[in-house]
A and B are shown apart, each in its own frame.
Chain A
Amino acid sequence: YDFSIELYEMGWNLKDGLRECLVAAAPYGGPIALLKGHYRRSPSARPQLEIYSSSGLPLASFPWKSGVVKQLGWTVSDDLLCVQEDGTVLVYDLWGGFKRHFSMGNEVSQSQVLETKIFHSPYGTGVAILTGALRFTLATNIDDIKLRRLPEVPGLQEAPSCWAVLTQDRQSKVLVANGSQLFILDNTACTPVTPPGLSPQASSIVHMCVSFSYKYLALLTDSGHVWMGTSNLKEKLSEVDTKIKTPPKQMAWCRRPKSQQPSAVVMWDGLLIVVGECKETIQYHLDDDSVLVPELDGVRIISGTHHELLQEVPGACEEIFKIASMAPGALLLEAHKEYEKESQKADEYLREIKEQSLLSEAVRQCVEAAGHEHEPETQKTLLRAASFGKCFLSNFPPEQFVSMCRDLRVLNAVRDYTVGIPLTHTQFKQMTVQVLIDRLVYRKLYPLAIEVCRYLKTPEYQGVSRVLKHWACYKVQQKEESDEVIAKAVSVKLADAAGISYSEIATKAYESGRTELAIKLLEFEPRSGEQVPLLLKMKKSPLALSKAIESGDTDLVYTVVMYLKNELNRGDFFMMLRNQPVALSLYKQFCKHQEQDTLKDLFNQDDDHEELGNFYVKASYKDQRLEARVALLQSAVDEYYKAKNDFSAKTTEDEMRLLRFQRKLEEEKGEQLVGFSLHDTMTTLLSVGLHKHAEQLYKDFRVPDKRFWWLKLKALAEKEDWEELEKFGKTKKSPVGYLPFVEVCIKHHNKYEAKKYVSKVTPEQKVKAHLAVGDMEGAAEAAIERRNESEISTVLSRCSATTDHLLMERLNRAKATAVKK
Chain B
Amino acid sequence: MLISYQKKNKKKHHHLISSQLHSSLQKELLQFLLECCVGAAEPFYHPRRPHEVFLNPFCRPACQHRCKTRSASSQVYSAVQSVVGSLHMAHTEWKDAPGLPDFSLLKRLARDQLIFLLEQLPGKKDLFIDADLMSPLDRIANVTILKQHEVDKLYKVELKPIVSSSDQLCFLIRPRIQTVKWISDLVNADKVAGRFRRYKIIFTPQKFYACETVLEEQGVYGDVTTDEWNFYILPLDDDILSLELPEFFRDNFLEGDQRWVTTAGSALRLLQSVYGSFSKVYGIGRCAKMVYESWRELMEDGEQRTRQPEFAKVFLVDRDVDFVTPLCSQVVYEGLVDDLFRIKCGSVEFGPDVTSSDKSIKVMLNSQDKVFSEIRNEHFSNVFGFLSQKAKNLQTAYDKRRGMDIQQMKAFVADELKGLKQEHRLLSLHIGASESMMKKKTKQDFQELLKTEHSLLEGFEIRECITYIEEHINRQVSMIDSLRLLCLLSITENGLLSKDYRSLKAQYLQSYGIEHLLTFANLRQLGLLEEQQAGETLTVMESKVGKLVNDKTVGKLTDAFSSLAKKSNFRALSKRLALVPKSGEEYDLRVPRDMAYVFSGAYIPLSCKLIEQVLERDGWTGMEEVTRMLNGQEFAVTGGSSSSEARSKTDAQRIVLVMFLGGCTFSEISALRFLGKERGCRFIVVTTAITNSSRLLEALLDNSA
B-binding residues in A (CB < 8 A): 27-28, 76-77, 120-125, 141, 143-144, 167, 170, 213-214, 257, 296, 430-432, 434-435, 437-438, 459, 461-462, 466, 469-470, 473, 501, 503-504, 526-527, 529-530, 552-556, 558-559, 562, 581-582, 585-586, 588-590, 593-594, 610, 614, 617-618, 621-622, 647-648, 651-652, 654-655, 675-680, 701, 703-704, 706-707, 710-711, 714
Q: Are A618 and B259 in contact (CB under 8 A)?
A: no
Give Cα A654 to B55, complex, Å.
Answer: 70
With A431-B25, A652-B514 as given contacts, are A558 and B208 in contact (CB-CB < 8 Å)?
yes
Q: Are A562 and B510 in contact (CB under 8 A)?
A: no
Residue B177 at the chain A interface, CB threshold 8 Å: yes
Residue B515 at the chain A interface, CB threshold 8 Å: yes
Q: Which of A122, A434, A529 has the most chain B CB atoms closer than 10 A to its own CB?
A: A122
Smallest CB separation, A798 vs chain B (Å) = 13
Q: Are A76 and B512 in contact (CB under 8 A)?
A: no
Which residue of chain A is the closest to B28 with respect to CB atoms? A213
Q: Are B513 and A677 in contact (CB under 8 A)?
A: yes
Which residue of chain B is the closest to A659 with respect to CB atoms? B514
Contact with A along B478-495 (1 / 0, CB 8 A): 000000000000000000
Give Cα A199 to B22, complex, Å.
Answer: 39
Smallest CB separation, A482 vs chain B (Å) = 25
Give Cα A431 to B505, complex, Å.
Answer: 77
Contact with A along B259-302 (1 / 0, CB 8 A): 10110000000000000000000000000001001100100110
Q: Are A555 and B208 in contact (CB under 8 A)?
A: yes
With A122-B26, A554-B258 as given contacts, are A655 and B514 in contact (CB-CB < 8 Å)?
yes
Residues of chain B within 8 A of A466, CB atoms compared: 59
Q: Are A617 and B515 in contact (CB under 8 A)?
A: yes
Give Cα A593 to B180, complex, Å.
Answer: 11
Smallest CB separation, B253 vs chain A (Å) = 12
Q: Are A706 and B178 in contact (CB under 8 A)?
A: no
Residues of chain B within 8 A of A614, CB atoms compared: 517-518, 521
**B66 contact from A167, A434, A501, Cβ within 8 A:** A501
User: What are 25 A-B interface contacts by the 8 Å CB criterion?
Assistant: A121-B29, A122-B29, A141-B22, A167-B29, A213-B29, A296-B28, A430-B24, A431-B25, A438-B56, A473-B62, A501-B65, A504-B65, A527-B297, A553-B294, A558-B208, A558-B259, A562-B213, A581-B256, A617-B514, A617-B518, A652-B517, A676-B513, A677-B509, A701-B510, A703-B510
Residue B471 at the chain A interface, CB threshold 8 Å: yes
| Besides A553-B261, A555-B209, 8 other A-B contacts (C-beta < 8 A) | A435-B56, A438-B56, A462-B56, A473-B62, A504-B65, A585-B255, A586-B256, A614-B517
Residues of chain A within 8 A of B54, CB atoms compared: 459, 461-462
Q: Are A651 and B262 in contact (CB under 8 A)?
A: no
Q: Are B20 and A124 in contact (CB under 8 A)?
A: yes
Residues of B in contact, count (CB < 8 Å): 68
Residues of chain A within 8 A of B258, CB atoms compared: 552, 554, 582
Q: Are A582 and B256 in contact (CB under 8 A)?
A: yes
Contact with A along B440-468 (1 / 0, CB 8 A): 00000000000000000000000000000
Q: Are B502 and A647 in contact (CB under 8 A)?
A: yes
Give Cα A469 to B32, complex, Å.
Answer: 34
Which residue of chain B is the closest to A213 with respect to CB atoms? B28
Q: Are A123 and B209 in contact (CB under 8 A)?
A: no
Smallest CB separation, A323 vs chain B (Å) = 34
Q: Are A143 and B294 in contact (CB under 8 A)?
A: no
Give Cα A588 to B29, complex, Å.
Answer: 55
Interface residues of B in 203-227 (CB under 8 A from A): 208-210, 213-214
Q: Are B255 and A589 in contact (CB under 8 A)?
A: yes
Residues of chain A within 8 A of B29, CB atoms compared: 121-122, 167, 213-214
Q: Which of B56, B177, B208, B512 has the most chain A CB atoms closer than 10 A to its own CB?
A: B56
Q: Are B21 and A122 in contact (CB under 8 A)?
A: yes
A-B contact count (CB 8 A): 196
Q: Are A554 and B261 in contact (CB under 8 A)?
A: yes
Residues of chain A within 8 A of B293, CB atoms compared: 552
Give Cα A548 to B507, complex, Å.
Answer: 45
With A141-B20, A141-B22 as given contacts, are A504 and B510 in contact (CB-CB < 8 Å)?
no
With A462-B55, A466-B59, A559-B209 as given contacts, are A143 and B22 in contact (CB-CB < 8 Å)?
yes
Interface residues of B in 11-41 (CB under 8 A from A): 16, 19-30, 33
Q: Are B210 and A529 in contact (CB under 8 A)?
A: no
Residue B357 at the chain A interface, CB threshold 8 Å: no
Residue B257 at the chain A interface, CB threshold 8 Å: yes
**B58 contact from A76, A213, A504, A582, Cβ within 8 A:** A76
Residue B474 at the chain A interface, CB threshold 8 Å: yes
Smallest CB separation, B522 vs chain A (Å) = 9
Residue B416 at the chain A interface, CB threshold 8 Å: no
The 10 A-B residue pairs with the shortest CB-CB distance, nearest first, are A554-B259, A677-B513, A124-B22, A585-B256, A76-B23, A434-B56, A707-B474, A655-B514, A678-B510, A438-B58
Give Cα A631 to B54, complex, Å.
Answer: 66
Residues of chain B within 8 A of A473, CB atoms compared: 62
Contact with A along B400-433 (1 / 0, CB 8 A): 0000000000000000000000000000000000
Interface residues of B in 44-77 (CB under 8 A from A): 54-59, 62, 65-66, 69
Residues of chain B within 8 A of A553, CB atoms compared: 261-262, 294
Q: Are A594 and B214 in contact (CB under 8 A)?
A: yes
Residues of chain B within 8 A of A125, CB atoms compared: 22-23
**A554 contact from B59, B177, B257, B301, Cβ within 8 A:** B257
Q: Are A651 and B514 in contact (CB under 8 A)?
A: yes
Q: Are B510 and A593 in contact (CB under 8 A)?
A: no
Residue B678 at the chain A interface, CB threshold 8 Å: no
Smallest CB separation, B526 vs chain A (Å) = 14
Residues of chain B within 8 A of A586, CB atoms compared: 256-257, 259
Which residue of chain A is the closest to B258 with respect to CB atoms? A554
Residues of chain B within 8 A of A257, CB atoms compared: 28
Residues of chain B within 8 A of A675, CB atoms compared: 513
Q: Are A76 and B22 in contact (CB under 8 A)?
A: yes
Residues of chain A within 8 A of B507, CB atoms compared: 704, 707
Residues of chain A within 8 A of B7, CB atoms compared: none
Smallest CB separation, A78 vs chain B (Å) = 8
With A504-B62, A553-B294 as given contacts, are A143 and B56 in contact (CB-CB < 8 Å)?
no
Residue B167 at the chain A interface, CB threshold 8 Å: no
Give Cα A296 to B28, complex, Å.
Answer: 10
Q: Are B25 and A28 in contact (CB under 8 A)?
A: yes
Smallest CB separation, A186 vs chain B (Å) = 17
**A618 contact from B28, B59, B262, B702, Cβ within 8 A:** B702
Q: Are B301 and A706 in contact (CB under 8 A)?
A: no
Residues of chain A within 8 A of B521, CB atoms compared: 610, 614
Q: Are A121 and B26 in contact (CB under 8 A)?
A: yes
Q: Are B27 and A430 in contact (CB under 8 A)?
A: yes
Which residue of chain A is the closest to B175 with respect to CB atoms? A555
Give Cα A801 to B352, complex, Å.
Answer: 36
Residues of chain B within 8 A of A556, CB atoms compared: 209
Give Cα A622 to B705, complex, Å.
Answer: 8
Give Cα A559 to B216, complex, Å.
Answer: 13
Residue B511 at the chain A interface, CB threshold 8 Å: yes
Residues of chain B within 8 A of A585, CB atoms compared: 255-257
Q: Are B518 and A618 in contact (CB under 8 A)?
A: yes
Interface residues of B in 658-678 (CB under 8 A from A): none
Residue B547 at the chain A interface, CB threshold 8 Å: no
Give Cα A352 to B475, complex, Å.
Answer: 110
Residues of chain A within 8 A of B517, CB atoms compared: 614, 617, 648, 651-652
Residue B637 at the chain A interface, CB threshold 8 Å: no
